[in-house]
């Protein structure tokens, strides 16, 4: 979950430091750092996004060192030896690039229906070229090298939620080396990038992957080809088809990827698939299903993938909507081999102390949990520093007032 509180050059600030030190202090065993942009043209999603570069490397080194030290001390106090595993997510914004509040997308391909739904017109943005993708691959390798130098344990080559690499997986209509009907072409950039990072840096690699986009063929990854026409985007969800996701995960495992985080959906359009909620952000799509259906899709999808690729370690998503009961869902899923690890995003923003609280007491208080009000998302989409508006009302009161005035 992004904080949107980096400097203009992409360095972590005191707000960033405070957030991650809190996660470490409160006993998280795996701290999956937020989306961090490559030092590459048009890669940043917004102007307060982290960037890993030679210029920002000293700040990242300092932060990682502090997080490791804090984590080790925290776990030792509850009788555990070791520290949290730290992963840095490397991202390219793709169609969701914003610069100085203006959309400047770099598209994997044109999808008129989704473009209109997310404010992209025919004269806004462009399709990234194959030659630029070759350069981008080198940028991922450089970023992974810098992340390793900063002290991260692994890097996440981000391929989820409609960003560039996720878009390439569904690039059926793209012409060239990185698109078309053939799975090999659509998966080529992700697999080649993973291989290059492993070969040239030795840095462990993982990925946060959307295995089901919820968008109709030929514009969605992980969807059945027996679906609606693209013009019926609003008429419901296509069926899940995990055959290509299974193939992708097996090929990633062969390249040395030992664990992945499974997600789904496009939060800019079908946010309910990605992050089930009780209150939607203004101007976004109404969910066609109850949040429990969305949660269940997360759990069952990871379970199916675990059965197909048992040697892969899976980090499951979709827990925060369950509030204090999410602990029991996670325990059940892990005990029954439906997943290996449970991950929380919004709950961590609302109540960063939940890991240690759960470890020491066996539960978390209902008064502290995320209530899925979409406040954090509204702040992020408007370009404001984000966090939990319910648990920290004074911090975000002025920002929320501005959002209301803006109608966002």
Q: Which domains, and CATH codes, for the chain?
A: 14-406 (3.20.20.70)
Band (pLDDT 50/70/90 cuts) for residue 113 is confident
Label residue 289 exposed, middle or buried (CB < 10 Å: 0-12, 13-18, 19+): middle
Could you report the per-residue pLDDT of 174-204, keeping only the tens digit for each?
999 999 999 999 999 999 999 999 999 999 9
Helix residue ranges per DSSP H, 118-207? 130-150, 164-169, 183-201
Distance CA 173, CA 286 (A): 28
Could you report the per-residue pLDDT of 8-61, keeping only the tens digit for each?
999 999 999 999 999 999 999 999 999 999 999 889 999 999 999 999 999 999
Could you report the per-residue pLDDT of 368-403, keeping only the tens digit for each?
999 999 999 999 988 899 999 999 999 999 999 999
Which residues lie across from 220 on neighbouring strands? none
Instruction: Tell me, letter by letter, the H, E, C secondary structure of 279-342.
Output: CCCCCCCCCCCCHHHHHHHHHHHHHHHHHHCCCCEEEECCCHHHHHHHHHHHHHHHHCCCCCEE
Is residue 149 within 8 A of residue 135, CB to CB? The reply is no
pLDDT at residue 234 tops 90: no
Band (pLDDT 50/70/90 cuts) for residue 269 is confident
Distance CA 16, CA 5 (A): 6
Label residue 403 exposed, middle or buried (CB < 10 Å: 0-12, 13-18, 19+): buried
Which DSSP symbol is given to 384?
Answer: -
Distance CA 57, CA 386 (A): 23
pLDDT, mean of residues 125-146: 96
Distance CA 373, CA 389 (A): 9
Using DSSP, state whether 126 is helix, strand or coil. strand
Distance CA 387, CA 34 (A): 13
pLDDT at residue 250 tops 80: yes
pLDDT, mean of residues 127-144: 97
Region at 176 (left for phi over 0; alpha for psi -120 to 50; beta for the rest) = left
To the question of pTM greater than 0.85 for the whole model, the response is yes
pLDDT, mean of residues 310-338: 98
pLDDT at residue 116 tops 70: yes
Distance CA 290, CA 300 (A): 16
Distance CA 82, CA 69 (A): 10
Is residue 196 within 8 A of residue 211, CB to CB? The reply is no
Closest C-alpha to 240, from 262, 259, 258:
262
């Amino acid at each position: 979950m992004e904080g949107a509180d980096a400097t203009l050059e992409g360095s972590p600030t005191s707000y960033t430091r405070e957030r991650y030190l809190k996660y470490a202090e409160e006993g998280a065993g795996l701290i999956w750092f937020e989306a961090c942009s490559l030092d590459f043209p048009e890669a940043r999603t917004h102007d307060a996004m982290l960037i890993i570069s030679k210029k920002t490397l000293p700040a990242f080194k300092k932060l990682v060192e502090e997080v490791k030290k804090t984590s080790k001390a925290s776990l030792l106090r509850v009788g555990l030896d070791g520290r949290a595993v730290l992963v840095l997510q490397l991202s390219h914004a793709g169609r969701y690039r914003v610069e100085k509040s203006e959309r400047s997308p770099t598209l994997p391909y044109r999808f008129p229906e989704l473009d209109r739904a997310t404010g992209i017109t025919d004269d806004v943005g462009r399709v990234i070229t194959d030659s630029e993708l070759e350069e981008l691959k080198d940028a991922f390798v450089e970023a992974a090298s810098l992340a390793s130098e900063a002290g991260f344990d692994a890097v996440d080559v981000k391929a989820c939620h409609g960003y560039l690499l996720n878009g390439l997986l569904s690039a059926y209509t793209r012409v060239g080396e990185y698109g078309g009907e053939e799975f090999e072409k659509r998966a080529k950039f992700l697999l080649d990038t993973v291989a290059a990072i492993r070969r040239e840096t030795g840095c462990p690699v993982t990925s946060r992957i959307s295995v089901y986009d919820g968008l109709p063929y030929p514009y969605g990854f992980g969807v059945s080809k027996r679906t609606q026409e693209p013009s019926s985007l609003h008429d419901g969800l296509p069926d899940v088809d995990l055959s290509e996701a299974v193939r992708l995960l097996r090929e990633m495992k062969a390249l040395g990827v030992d664990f992945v985080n499974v997600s789904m959906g496009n939060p800019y359009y079908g946010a309910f698939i990605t992050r089930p909620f009780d209150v939607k952000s203004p101007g976004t799509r109404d969910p066609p299903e109850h949040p429990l259906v969305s949660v269940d899709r997360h759990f069952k999808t990871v379970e199916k993938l675990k059965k197909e690729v048992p040697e892969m370690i899976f980090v499951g998503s979709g827990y925060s909507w369950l509030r204090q009961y999410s602990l029991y869902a996670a325990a059940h899923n892990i005990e029954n081999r439906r997943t290996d690890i449970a991950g929380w995003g919004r709950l961590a923003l609302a109540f960063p102390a939940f890991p240690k609280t759960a470890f020491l007491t066996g539960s978390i208080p209902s008064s502290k949990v995320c209530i899925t009000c979409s406040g954090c998302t509204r702040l992020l989409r408007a370009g404001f520093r984000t966090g939990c508006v319910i648990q920290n009302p004074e911090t975000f009161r002025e920002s929320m007032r501005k959002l209301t005035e803006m109608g966002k």
